[in-house]
DNA sequence: ATGGTCGAGTATCGA
């Protein structure tokens, strides 16, 4: 397998972000791009914009909320919308799986949870448990596998500017972190931490109160890779430049490059 | 630029 560069980005509305995304694809030149929060229906997904740039695309859209997509210039096969664990659909567009250039790629937008103890928070925990069952259904830990997206969980206190000031405790609660660790326990490595064991690197900053410039952020966008891939990890990047300028998403893209194998 | 979120969609909710 040749070198492959894979990116994940919560764009917070694909239509609102399309100019920034098109610009960024030309700069970052990823082979595979996973998008979350497209907030558009399949009928308004801008396929041609990506074709023009050399990318095939698949989209699992819903309309007003959620929505996930995979763009690839190394092929897209074996596409699965949502959970493949044999259970019922959860009714929201938060998970999409495809094989791109020999890598089994799954991208996810994990429910936010709202508040610790909220009905939606319990749903979030169940959703993360189900995510591991989904991996069992679509891949083997011995394969080249990437699971990436907006997990809405900061794995560790290193991953937040202030653990006491996050969302009334969501994103940092022990229960959420355990649920995320259970997903990693399937056989995945948090690629950013391979290269940056202790750095305070965030991927999301609130639009409000100048949070980005104050470094009030969290690392909730992750790119997890199976061992066969993580052994070939060459570099990773949180592209903070994409969080600056005109009409940015509140998330920065994260990129990981894997060498030939 | 003396305030200070954004997006969808058009009132208000979700993040």
Separation between the CA of A229 and the C1’ of B11 (whole angstroms): 48
Q: What is the pLDDT of residue A168?
A: 64
Inter-residue contact A155 to A222 (CB < 8 Å): yes
| Strand B within 7 A of A209 CB | yes
> What whole-number distance in Å separates Cα of residue A219 and Cα of residue A233?
19
Q: Which nt sits closest to A40, CA to C1'?
A: B8
Protein-nucleic contacts, chain A 95-124 to strand B, CB < 7 Å: 111-112, 114, 120
Separation between the CA of A209 and the C1’ of B4 (whole angstroms): 6
Q: What is the pLDDT of residue A1?
A: 87
Q: What is the pLDDT of residue A167?
A: 59
> What whole-number distance in Å separates Cα of residue A81 and Cα of residue A238?
27
Q: Which nt sits closest to A13, CA to C1'?
A: B7
| Strand B within 7 A of A214 CB | no
Chain B bases closer than 7 A to any CB of the protein: 4-9, 14-15
Q: What is the pLDDT of residue A50?
A: 98
Q: Per-residue confidence of chain A (261 residues) as pLDDT tens digits? A: 899 999 999 999 999 999 999 999 999 999 999 999 999 999 999 999 999 999 999 999 999 999 999 999 999 999 999 999 999 998 999 999 999 999 999 999 999 999 999 999 999 999 999 999 999 999 999 999 999 999 999 999 999 998 777 656 899 999 999 999 999 999 999 999 999 999 999 999 999 999 999 999 999 999 999 999 999 999 999 999 999 999 999 999 999 999 998
Chain centroid to CA A56: 18
> What whole-number distance in Å separates Cα of residue A217 and Cα of residue A251?
10
Separation between the CA of A4 and the C1’ of B15 (whole angstroms): 32
């Amino acid at each position: 397998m040749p070198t492959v560069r894979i990116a994940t980005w919560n764009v917070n509305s694909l239509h609102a972000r399309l100019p920034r995304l098109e610009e960024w694809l030309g700069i970052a030149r990823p082979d595979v791009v996973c998008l979350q929060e497209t907030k558009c229906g399949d009928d308004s997904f801008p396929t041609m914009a990506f074709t023009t740039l050399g990318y095939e695309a698949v989209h699992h859209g819903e309309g007003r909320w959620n929505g996930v997509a995979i763009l690839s210039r190394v092929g897209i096969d074996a596409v699965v919308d949502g959970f493949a664990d044999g259970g019922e659909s959860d009714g929201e567009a938060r998970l999409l799986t495809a094989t791109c250039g020999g890598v089994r790629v799954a991208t996810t937008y994990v429910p936010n949870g709202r508040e610790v103890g909220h009905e939606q928070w319990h749903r979030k925990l169940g959703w993360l448990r189900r995510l591991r069952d989904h991996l069992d259904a679509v891949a083997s830990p011995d394969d080249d596998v990437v699971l990436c997206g907006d997990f809405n969980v900061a794995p560790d206190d290193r991953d937040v500017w202030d653990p006491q000031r996050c969302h009334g405790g969501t994103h940092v609660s022990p229960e959420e972190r355990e649920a995320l660790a259970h997903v990693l326990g399937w056989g995945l490595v948090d690629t950013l931490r391979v290269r940056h064991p202790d750095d305070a690197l965030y991927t999301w900053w609130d639009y409000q109160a100048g949070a980005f410039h104050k470094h009030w952020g969290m690392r909730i966008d992750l790119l997890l890779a199976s061992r066969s891939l993580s052994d070939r990890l060459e570099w990773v990047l949180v592209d903070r430049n994409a969080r600056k300028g005109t009409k940015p998403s509140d998330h920065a893209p994260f990129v990981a490059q894997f060498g030939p194998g």
